[in-house]
């Protein structure tokens, strides 16, 4: 029996923390290009987001992959003195949903709510 | 040997006393008014313009630079900067969007290819060559758009000084207050680049932030 629908991969914070940045971005783009919706429990660092945008642009093709839709909450600052002093450790990485631009559409986004529509290909 | 020593000495003196001109990037989503602002700055503070303005998204597909612009604030304090007008940042580009504006398919495909290269280039500039950012947001649009959240996060992580320009205040739906509540940690200046309303407030904030 074949089942029609959309595949969703939820990747845990633990698994993400073991992966180097480029491996993470490669995994996201490979799965999203296949039509999979990827949910990251702990999101990406700003540096990783910057590389993700750059690599996404390099993979866009006419009548093929047209890019990604990505949704997450606004960043939240950590309050501890030590974390504020350490560069790059001053904010929580938050849950992030990434999918193909032609399948994932945002309906509503707020500080604490993301509502999205996912369609099959 | 003496020549070598004198060259090294003069280099040390140059590094000590010559302040590098800061490169200020104008970033934001497509159609926020980046090129209109870049042209206005170039026109009002030097003698030229940078790029063409259009209602079609991704009119600017290469980063354009205008060098050695000196902006003077009301108290006489001045900054000398290079302005870099960058292509609108996005995570998706579909050439069919350009066809809807009446562009032929082949030109639309080329435009999409150039736009993807331009966005990748803009991200690269931000990581390597930018000292400060004017982040432009269309004040009639949702400031919580993911591209704004990501870009402000990237700019903050690089510890770059940033001024947010809440543009298009001449339009009835404009709400600079929404932008202020979305990014309370940064200065937000409501302006209309097209008409020129309050751009002097932006220049003041630039002198304060990028000095």
- How far is residue A40's CA from residue A95's CA, in Å, rounded to a whole number? 6
List the single best residue of A40, A54, A64, A96 to mutate versus B (max B Cβ within 10 A). A54
B160 — pLDDT class (breaks 50, 70, 90): very high
Find the mean pLDDT for residues A75-101: 65
ipTM > 0.95, yes or no? no
Q: Using CB atoms, which residue from A45, A54, A69 is nearest to B123?
A: A54
Res B168 pLDDT > 70? yes
Q: Which residue has the higher pLDDT, A108 or B33?
A: B33
B49 — pLDDT class (breaks 50, 70, 90): low
Whole-number pLDDT of residue B5 = 59
Find the mean pLDDT for residues A101-116: 83
B1 — pLDDT class (breaks 50, 70, 90): very low
A9 in helix, strand or coil? strand
Pairing mode of beta strands B132-138, B64-72: unpaired
Q: Domain locations in chain B?
A: 18-210
User: HSE on the CB side for B208, CA within 13 Å?
Assistant: 14
B80 in helix, strand or coil? strand
Q: Looking at the DSSP assignment, which residues form a beta bridge with residue B26?
A: B85, B134
Find the mean pLDDT for residues B120-134: 93
CATH code for residues A8-106: 3.30.110
Q: Using CB atoms, which residue from A47, A53, A74 is nearest to B91?
A: A53
Q: Domain locations in chain A?
A: 8-106
Q: Which residue of B has its CA nearest to A104?
A: B92
Q: Which residue of B has its CA nearest to A98?
A: B91
B68 CB contacts (<8 Å, ≥6 apart)? Answer: B21, B46, B80, B82
Res A80 pLDDT > 80? no
- Closest C-alpha among B42, B90, B79 to residue B161: B79
Whole-number pLDDT of residue A88 = 47
Q: How far is CA B71 from the centre of its chain?
A: 15
CATH code for residues B18-210: 3.40.50.300
B77 CB contacts (<8 Å, ≥6 apart)? Answer: B207, B211
Q: Using CB atoms, which residue from A62, A71, A111 is nearest to B95?
A: A62
Res A49 pLDDT > 80? yes
B1 to chain A, closest Cα gap in Å:
43
Res B27 pLDDT > 90? yes
CA angle B140, B145, B148 (to 5 degrees): 100
Element (H, E) at A106: strand A104-109
Whole-number pLDDT of residue A74 = 67
Whole-number pLDDT of residue A76 = 64
Q: What is the pTM of this model?
A: 0.86
- Closest C-alpha among B47, B124, B48, B139 to residue B89: B124
B183 to chain A, closest Cα gap in Å:
9
A84 to chain B, closest Cα gap in Å:
12
Whole-number pLDDT of residue A10 = 96
Tokens 């390099």 -> residue: A58
Res B149 pLDDT > 60? yes
């Amino acid at each position: 029996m074949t089942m029609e629908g959309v595949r969703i991969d939820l990747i845990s914070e633990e698994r993400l923390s073991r992966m180097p940045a480029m491996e993470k971005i490669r995994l996201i783009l490979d799965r999203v290009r296949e039509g999979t919706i990827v949910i990251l429990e702990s999101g990406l660092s700003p540096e990783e987001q910057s590389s993700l945008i750059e690599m996404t642009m390099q993979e866009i093709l006419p009548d093929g992959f047209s890019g990604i839709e990505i949704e997450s909450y606004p960043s939240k600052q950590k309050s501890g003195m030590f974390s504020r002093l350490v560069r790059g450790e001053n904010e929580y990485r938050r849950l992030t949903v990434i999918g193909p631009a032609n399948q994932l559409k945002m309906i509503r986004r707020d500080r604490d709510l993301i509502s999205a529509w996912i369609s099959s290909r | 040997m003496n020549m070598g020593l004198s060259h090294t000495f003069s280099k040390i003196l140059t590094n000590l006393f010559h302040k590098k001109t800061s490169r200020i990037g104008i970033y934001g989503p497509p159609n926020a008014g980046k090129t209109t602002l870049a042209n206005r700055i170039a026109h009002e503070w030097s003698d030229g313009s940078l790029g063409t303005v259009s209602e079609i998204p991704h009119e600017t597909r290469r980063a354009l630079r205008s060098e050695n612009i000196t902006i003077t604030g009301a108290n006489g304090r001045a900054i000398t900067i290079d302005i870099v007008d960058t292509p609108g940042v996005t995570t998706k580009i579909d050439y069919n969007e350009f066809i809807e504006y009446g562009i032929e398919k082949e030109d639309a495909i080329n435009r999409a290819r150039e736009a993807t290269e331009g966005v990748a280039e803009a991200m690269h500039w931000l990581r390597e060559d930018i000292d400060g950012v004017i982040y432009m947001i269309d004040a009639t649009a949702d400031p919580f758009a993911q591209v704004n959240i990501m870009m402000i996060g990237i700019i903050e992580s690089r510890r770059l000084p940033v001024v947010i320009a809440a543009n298009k205040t001449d339009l009835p739906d404009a709400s600079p207050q929404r932008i202020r509540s979305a990014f309370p940690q940064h200065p937000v200046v409501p302006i209309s680049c097209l008409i020129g309303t309050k751009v002097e407030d932006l220049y003041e904030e630039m002198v304060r932030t990028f000095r």
